[in-house]
């Protein structure tokens, strides 16, 4: 089971985005959909692309997506990369034009028509997927501290190479959380964006002990709790700390139990399994 799943907040076009990505990326498939969102749209969906799950929410216009978190996709061939670029470019905008760079034979960074940012790079290996953090503005220079926090929270984590440029900024650093690859870059170029709730990371927790441990670690030293299991860590990155039991309760065939679970969840900040179960059983 994937431990950490990127979770993207859309404004009414989550299902269109999900189906577009499934059609473009290798081995794309829709895993599940649930609920009814604005104007009868899908509320929540999960898709698998390039070997990784992503979650899609029709949450409304409150959280515009920014390039502070993008997704790096390694491509096996030039044709594969160029085809993927063309599909993402429809209605989108290039942030770094597709071409040859000192660090890659072929690379491009694009923001698609849904606002999601993708970095495509020729690797010569089967298509791969990796969330990428860009620390800018007030967060510039804090990437290593963030990585040290994250790798301390999740088992099976490690820090790889963190190469630095002339200004000391990390460029294309690598780390792994729960065995999953991530990358990180810092920039002091005055980018007009930062981390937001638009892209968060949903953490699958086996039990309340794990929920408590992750919650306490990520809200300490400047982090902040938010409703419904969400939090913002000290660096502005959003996480959802989700007990596995919640998914089981939400999939109960008794819709009254599901409704009571949802109402209880809406009243919580950190999710408490015992309280969710009490609410579900209250009828």
C-alpha closest to that of 218 among 150, 163, 267, 148: 150
Total-model pTM: 0.96
Q: Write phi, then psi, for 273 (nearest 5 degrees).
A: -60, -45
Q: Break the chain into its structural domains and give their ranges.
A: 4-186, 206-280
Helix or strand holding residue 48 (H, E): strand 42-49
- Which CATH class for the 206-280 domain? alpha beta
Dist. CA 49–CA 24, nearest whole Å: 9
Question: Residue holding tokens 């902040």?
Answer: 224
Joined tokens for residue 162 = 């963190």
Paired sense of beta strands 180-186 and 128-135, if any: parallel
191 within 8 A of 109, measured Cβ to Cβ: no
- List of residues 6+ apart from 147 with CB closer than 8 A: 159, 162, 173, 175, 184
Q: Which pLDDT score, from 0 to 100, does residue 36 have?
A: 76
pLDDT of residue 41: 79
Q: What fold, for 4-186?
A: 2,3-Dihydroxybiphenyl 1,2-Dioxygenase; domain 1 (3.10.180)
In order of 30, 66, 203, 270, the CA distances from 53 in angstroms are 9, 20, 12, 24
Per-residue pLDDT of the chain (283 residues; tens, 9 = 90+): 899 999 999 998 999 999 999 999 999 999 999 887 767 778 999 999 999 999 999 998 889 999 999 999 999 999 999 999 999 999 999 999 999 999 999 999 999 999 999 999 999 999 999 999 999 999 999 999 999 999 999 999 999 999 998 889 999 999 999 999 999 999 999 999 999 999 999 999 999 999 999 999 999 999 999 999 999 999 999 999 999 999 999 999 999 999 999 999 999 999 999 999 999 999 7
Report the pLDDT value the prediction gives residue 35, as an integer from 0 to 100.
Answer: 80
Chain-centroid distance of CA 155 in Å reads 19
* The pLDDT value given to residue 267: 97
- Would you state the structure tokens that stand for residue 28, as one six-digit string? 């794309």
Contact 182/203 with Cβ under 8 angstroms?
no
Same fold, 4-186 and 206-280: yes
């Amino acid at each position: 089971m994937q431990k950490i799943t990127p979770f993207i907040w859309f404004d009414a076009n989550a299902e269109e985005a999900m189906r577009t990505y499934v059609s473009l990326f290798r081995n794309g498939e829709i895993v599940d959909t649930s609920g009814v969102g604005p104007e009868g749209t899908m509320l929540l969906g999960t898709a698998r692309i390039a070997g990784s799950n992503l979650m899609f929410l029709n949450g409304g216009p409150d959280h515009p997506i920014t390039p502070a978190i993008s997704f790096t996709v390694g491509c096996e061939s030039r044709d594969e990369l160029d085809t993927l670029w063309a599909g993402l470019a429809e209605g989108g905008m290039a942030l770094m034009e597709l071409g040859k760079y000192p660090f890659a034979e072929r690379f491009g960074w694009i923001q698609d028509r849904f606002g999601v940012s993708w970095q495509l790079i020729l690797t010569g290996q089967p298509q791969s997927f990796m969330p990428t953090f860009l620390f800018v503005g007030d967060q510039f220079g804090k990437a290593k501290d963030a990585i040290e926090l994250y790798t301390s929270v999740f088992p099976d984590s490690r820090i790889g190479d963190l190469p630095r440029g002339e200004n000391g900024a990390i460029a294309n650093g690598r780390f792994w959380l729960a065995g999953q690859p991530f990358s990180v870059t810092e920039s002091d170029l005055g980018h007009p964006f930062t981390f937001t709730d638009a892209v968060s990371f949903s953490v699958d927790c086996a039990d309340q002990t794990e929920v408590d441990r992750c919650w306490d670690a990520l809200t300490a030293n400047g982090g902040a709790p938010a409703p419904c299991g969400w939090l913002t860590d000290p660096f502005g990155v959003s996480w959802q700390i989700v007990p596995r039991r919640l998914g089981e309760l939400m999939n109960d065939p008794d819709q009254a139990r599901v409704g009571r679970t949802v109402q209880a969840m809406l009243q919580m900040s950190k999710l408490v399994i015992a309280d969710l179960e009490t609410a579900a059983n209250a009828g």
